[in-house]
Structure 1
Amino acid sequence: MQNFEEKFKNVKYKPFTRQQMIDCIEGRGAPRPGVAFGTWVHLDLLSEDKQEVLKKLYEEYPEDMQEFYVVKPSVFGKEGETYTWCDVPNADPSIGRTKKVGVDEETAISWETYRKISKDVPDINYPDMFKNAPEEDGRYRLAWMSDGPWTSIWRYRGMTNSLMDLYTNPEDVHDINRRVLRFHKAICKRGKEEAHIDGVAFGDDLGMQRGSFISPEMYREFYFPYHKELCDYAHSLGLHVWMHCCGDCFNLIPQFIEAGIDVLHPIQKYTMDEKQVKETYGNDLSFWVGMDLQRVLPFGNEQDAINETRFLIDTYYRPETGRTIFTVNNRLEDNVPIENVVAFLKEAYRYGSEAGGKKDE
């Protein structure tokens, strides 16, 4: 394990310790909002000049936690492969495909094919599951799992079919949910033991630009039980559960809280009212606040990014509780001016520290 003080002795803003992040998430206060871009910024997807800017920036402004991806199972396994979501030979519908299909339909298989998948895949004992885990350095450690049950059904059936399946094949939908839950619970257990993680994260994009994909009643029937069982299990191990949910999920947040979700990302701008969300649920939930990637960062200027950062801090952050960590609201793409990203990150630290009662360094 690296020495925290030694590693970060020359940075502009010292990152949170593990305990400070835990306190921030659990509402015991934080000296400033947390900042953790992590898995939402894939450097290899950006141009080389932008990569260099961000690498230098991270050296001066290190993130407040260590995030990494659990190695994901393949969608369609090769013969004999067990770390896969589908081990049925030649099940990949792209084999022999001559016509283009929608991106959400690229891996869609029939229920007949799905029912042939072995019950024990993905292999929960896969030895390299945590090979991406960085060396411990005293910061909070978050492991990103594969998609949650709702997003996972798209992988098997495509989005259009998935919406119909809730009505036509409910038992098959529950079978997918149980398969995903089995895998996620194994990640929790092994992640705690092998990678010394503090939290797990998954994505279930239940929101659209206007409203949720499914009603609260449908969520209650098909997804709440699995989210709750995951949260109960993770909490029994001392882990937090972080959930990514794009779009407008306002009508589902009460059930997210009941299920035990600890941190919600991104509270997407232009789909939900940030102040309403904070005022309604800020005592029961922490927010991994996502800076807007639809309008502000890609099409605004540096001052727009600074102004939006201040708005988000004023809206979400309270020094006495914390409960606020900043990132972008989805994967950072190369169309975003790097100057805007830098302005956002620097202002999150500067203005956030000021809001927490500290002076500029």
Structure 2
Amino acid sequence: MTRRQAVIEALEHREHETIPFHMDFTKQALDQLIAYTKDEEIEEKIGSCINIIQYWGWPTQLPGKPGFFQDEFGVIWNRNGAVKDIGIVEKPQIKDLEDYHYEFPVFDEKRLRQEYEALVAKNGDRFTVAGFGFCMFERAWSLMGMENVLMSMLICPDELDELFDRICDYYLPMIDLALEYDVDAVYFGDDWGQQRGLIMGPNHWRHFLKPRMARLYQRVKAGGKYVIQHSCGDCHEIFPDLIEIGLDCYQTFQPEIYDIAEMKKLYGKDLTFWGGISTQQCLPYATPEGVRDEIIRVSRILREGGGYILAPTHALSFDVPPENILKMAEVFQHQEKYLSF
């Protein structure tokens, strides 16, 4: 069975001895792992089953301003703090939603096509995904600021509806372009959750985000591809909504937030869960043996009936020791030894 077929089997909820797996890195974590192993090819050797690129605006270094990056939307990101892979928004583009003149950029079709051509060219036997990060809610707050978006849900909902429609309309032709290529799925990155519940609450999510996400999902489904949604935090209140609008796979599935056995019981026939190995508690702090034991525990719960992609709950950060990453890779690669039960 190829790696691509293993992922498709999971998405179709068919259980097999080998669980498809994926491992993603922040730049800091990958640099540390390469330095530790002295192997520039270590990421490729881990052998993840998923081949993914993610568009979120192509931030480029601002001349003469170390650590400051500006994306295609005009947003300036300060990466001089702890969050070096993304950064902190320096200044909002939209200050007053009831009186603004912001124009969305014309997306760089040539560059996006080049990225998809490169993505497909290195498919190998992997499951291939076109990703769109900072989609909808995150795009809105990157333009306006988080507090301003949340306040606008109450103060000027009509104007916020219009902004979300504009964001949705911006991404639809990009999805159409992605679907021209030999990809298996489209991934949307948009953090809605916190440690307990949704940032904006389920009612506001259903009003402002659900109809726009439904349009994006429907475009992917019309192209015959799978839909994957990333959201950190606790989104269990809207799992039925996500299933209703066509979601196939939810990522990331955090065991410190969810009762994973209960979620599997309630939604495992409809959703594939991607994640389960905590980057918040387990991977930074456990011993390598503890990492091994946690992978075994989580896999026992989530593999039944298929519908599971074995992975860390987020891109590996600088605080995960290389020894733990290598132990995780060993268990992922040698499931016949560790996960055969």
Same fold (TM over 0.5): yes
Corresponding residue for residue 66 of structure 2: none
Corresponding residue for residue 322 of structure 1: 306
1:150 aligns with 2:137: yes
Match among 33, 52, 64 for residue 49 of structure 2: 64
Corresponding residue for residue 73 of structure 2: 85
SS of the equivalent of 2:174 reads helix
Task: Structure 1: give runs of 5+ residues left out of the alignment.
Answer: 1-13, 78-82, 95-102
Contact 1:26 1:323 in 2 (8 A): yes
How far apart are residue 327 of structure 1 and its match?
2.1
How far apart are residue 293 of structure 1 and its match?
1.4
How far apart are residue 211 of structure 1 and its match?
1.8
1:173 aligns with 2:173: no
In structure 2, relative to structure 1, the CA distance for the partners of 1:113 and 1:124 (3 Å cut) is farther
How far apart are residue 114 of structure 1 and its match?
7.6
Match among 308, 319, 324 for residue 335 of structure 1: 319
How far apart are residue 124 of structure 1 and its match?
4.2
SS of the equivalent of 1:335 reads coil
Corresponding residue for residue 10 of structure 1: none
CA RMSD of aligned residues (A): 3.0
In structure 2, relative to structure 1, the CA distance for the partners of 1:252 and 1:110 (3 Å cut) is same
1:310 aligns with 2:296: yes
How far apart are residue 208 of structure 1 and its match?
0.7
Kindly, what percent of the aligned residue pairs are identical? 22
TM-score of the aligned structures, taking structure 2 as reference length? 0.83
How far apart are residue 183 of structure 1 and its match?
3.0
Inter-partner Cα distance in structure 1 for 2:55 and 2:76: 23
- Counting strand residues as a fraction of each chain, which structure ranks higher? 2
Inter-partner Cα distance in structure 1 for 2:26 and 2:105: 27
Contact 1:32 1:322 in 2 (8 A): no
How far apart are residue 272 of structure 1 and its match?
1.5
How far apart are residue 185 of structure 1 and its match?
2.0
Match among 163, 171, 182 for residue 169 of structure 2: 182
**What residue identity is the alignment partner of 1:283?**
K
SS of the equivalent of 1:200 reads strand
1:122 aligns with 2:144: no
SS of the equivalent of 2:295 reads helix
TM-score of the aligned structures, taking structure 1 as reference length? 0.79
In structure 2, relative to structure 1, the CA distance for the partners of 1:74 and 1:279 (3 Å cut) is same
Inter-partner Cα distance in structure 2 for 1:104 and 1:158: 10
Inter-partner Cα distance in structure 2 for 1:304 and 1:54: 27
Which residues of 2 match residues 1-361 of structure 1 at below 5 A? 15-16=2-3, 18-38=4-24, 40-42=25-27, 46-47=31-32, 48-50=34-36, 52=38, 55-56=41-42, 58-59=44-45, 61-70=46-55, 72-73=57-58, 84-86=72-74, 106-108=90-92, 109-111=94-96, 115-118=100-103, 121-124=104-107, 126-132=109-115, 133-134=118-119, 135=121, 136-193=123-180, 195-318=181-304, 321-351=305-335, 355=339
> For this pair of structures, how many residues does the alignment match?
320
Corresponding residue for residue 8 of structure 1: none
Task: Structure 2: give runs of 5+ residues left out of the alignment.
Answer: 63-70, 79-86
**What residue identity is the alignment partner of 1:127?**
K
In structure 2, relative to structure 1, the CA distance for the partners of 1:20 and 1:335 (3 Å cut) is closer
